[in-house]
Amino acid sequence: MKRIGILTSGGDAPGMNAAVRAVTRTAISHGLEVFGIRYGFAGLVAGDFFQLTAEDVDHTINVGGTILYSARFPEMAEEEVQQRAVEQLKDHGIDAVIVIGGDGSYHGALALARHGINSIGLPGTIDNDIPFTDYTIGFDTACETAMDAIDKIRDTASSHHRVFVVSVMGRECGDIAMRAGVASGADAIVTPERPFDIKEIAENLKRSFANGKDHGIIVLAEGAMDAEEFKNELLKYGDFDARANVLAHMQRGGRPTVEDRVNATKMGNYAVKLLLDGKSALAVGMTRGELSEHNILDLFDGKHKGDYALLDLNKDMTN
Ligand code: F6P
């Protein structure tokens, strides 16, 4: 192996640049050449490659987004498209690829591995929804961003004695809602993975207001319910002055936290070492702070386990 490629795919996540930097620097220090592939698998198929030097990744560890750009590219599921991708890699003399992205990106990485290109996947998504890992690159920054926004919303909620339903990202996963919710002292946290009772939430809020509380915050994962619908449903059970607030893509940007920078650096370094050992079709994970690797194929049958104890913890804080 002499030359490796690296791409970022799917929704961007803060810390992706730290991972790109770690891959680039580790590979170069082991005598490899590194090619950046722009726009994820779309750029791979189009041959949008450029050589990455150690200097190219200077001043990127602290920057959100991805210097490689990203794209969603469902066409990568087609056999003919996969073959074009492999031809591009062969034409550029690239023997192996590191893919940073969410669950969709792992399908592309596995397809490359099946066509003889050694591939390693790194979990890059703010959602934290990948099986066999406690942590995905960008999750910590997204939680910080959401917490910060909720703190600000609480100020105005309190001034006006309002209830805010704050929608955070997480299509099928309530991890951002649970962590940002506990950290911001939410009155209720609603996730797609657990049943919820809007009437009960309304009754608890009424009791809190009756006891002198001057605001209410409900942190809602976007995958559980639409924020406006949730607010309207809530109003059926109580005469609240309520607002819905959708945080959306602001959670995907911003300076990565220490945790995201350090973990992304560890994972990028580890991915290159796996390739140097001749490994392929593996997904890097982190469990209780320890790096691990798993067959990508197993990921498709696995299910991410969130820290659902946070929901019980939050109930104990609010009753
Ligand atoms: O990357 C994950 C994610 O941010 C989800 O939380 C969200 O539902 C989705 O991407 C939004 O995707 P897009 O940016 O394509 O609208």
Question: Hey, which of 126, 173, 225, 226 would you mutate to test ligand 1's pocket, going by the most ligand atoms within 8 Å of its Cβ?
Answer: 126
252 CA to middle of ligand 1, Å? 8
Q: What pLDDT does 251 receive?
A: 98
Question: Hey, which of 73, 139, 171 would you mutate to test ligand 1's pocket, going by the most ligand atoms within 8 Å of its Cβ?
Answer: 171
CA-nearest residue for atom 2, ligand 1, is: 11
8 CA to middle of ligand 1, Å? 14
Question: Hey, which of 72, 103, 139, 169 would you mutate to test ligand 1's pocket, going by the most ligand atoms within 8 Å of its Cβ?
Answer: 169
CA-nearest residue for atom 8, ligand 1, is: 171
Q: What pLDDT does 225 receive?
A: 98
259-311 pLDDT, tens digit each:
999 999 999 999 999 999 999 999 999 999 999 999 999 999 999 999 999 99
Q: What pLDDT does 103 receive?
A: 87
Q: What pLDDT does 176 receive?
A: 98
Q: Spell out which residues line ligand 1, taking CB within 6 angstroms.
A: 10-11, 102, 125-127, 169-171, 222, 252
Q: What pLDDT does 1 receive?
A: 84
Catalytic choice (127, 129, 140, 175): 127
127 is catalytic: yes
23 CA to middle of ligand 1, Å? 25
Q: Point out the residues of the chain with pLDDT beneath 50.
A: none
242 CA to middle of ligand 1, Å? 26
DSSP string, the chain: --EEEEEE-SS--TTHHHHHHHHHHHHHHTT-EEEEETTHHHHHHHT-EEEE-TGGGTT-TT--S-TT-----GGGGSHHHHHHHHHHHHHTT--EEEEEESHHHHHHHHHHHHTT-EEEEEEB-TT---TT-S--BTHHHHHHHHHHHHHHHHHHHHHHT-EEEEEE--SS--HHHHHHHHHTT-SEEE-TTS---HHHHHHHHHHHHHTT---EEEEEETTT--HHHHHHHHHTS----EEEEE-GGGGG-SPPPHHHHHHHHHHHHHHHHHHHTT--SEEEEEETTEEEEEEHHHHHH------THHHHHHHHHH-
